[in-house]
């Protein structure tokens, strides 16, 4: 386990401690994201493979898994709905 302190500046910036950068294999220019999990904030580098992210969110709340095809279909539907919403908003803004 790594336990180190960091300080937040007045510009809401911080330096990631060297031990953490080394542990996560972070290099200058790498990107990462913050994720809330079980009431804690987790720092995840974007330099990991998709296989390493397997299970990061835990089990689905309803314990149902989806196939790639089902996920693709759901995403396509969401994109279509969002595109329609954007077009409606653009039409509304032009009137």
> What are 37-95's pLDDT values in tens digits?
888 888 888 776 667 666 767 777 777 888 889 989 999 999 999 999 888 988 888 87
The predicted pLDDT at position 18 comes to 92
Contact 32, 43 (CB under 8 A): yes
21-45 pLDDT, tens digit per residue, is: 888 888 888 888 888 888 888 888 8
* CATH class assigned to 1-58: mainly beta
Place of tokens 């990107």: 31
Q: What is the pTM of this model?
A: 0.44
The predicted pLDDT at position 9 comes to 95
**Which among 16, 23, 83, 82 is positioned nearest to 48, based on CA atoms?**
23
Paired tokens of 92: 């509304």
């Amino acid at each position: 386990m790594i336990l180190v302190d960091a300080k937040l500046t007045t510009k809401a910036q911080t330096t990631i401690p060297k031990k953490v950068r080394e542990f996560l294999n972070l290099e200058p220019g790498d990107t990462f994201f913050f994720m809330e999990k079980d009431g804690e904030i987790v720092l995840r580098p974007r330099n990991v493979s998709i296989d390493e992210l397997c299970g990061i969110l835990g089990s689905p709340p309803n314990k149902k898994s989806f196939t790639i095809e089902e996920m693709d279909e759901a995403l396509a539907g969401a994109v279509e709905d969002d595109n329609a919403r954007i077009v409606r908003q653009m039409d509304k803004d032009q009137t």
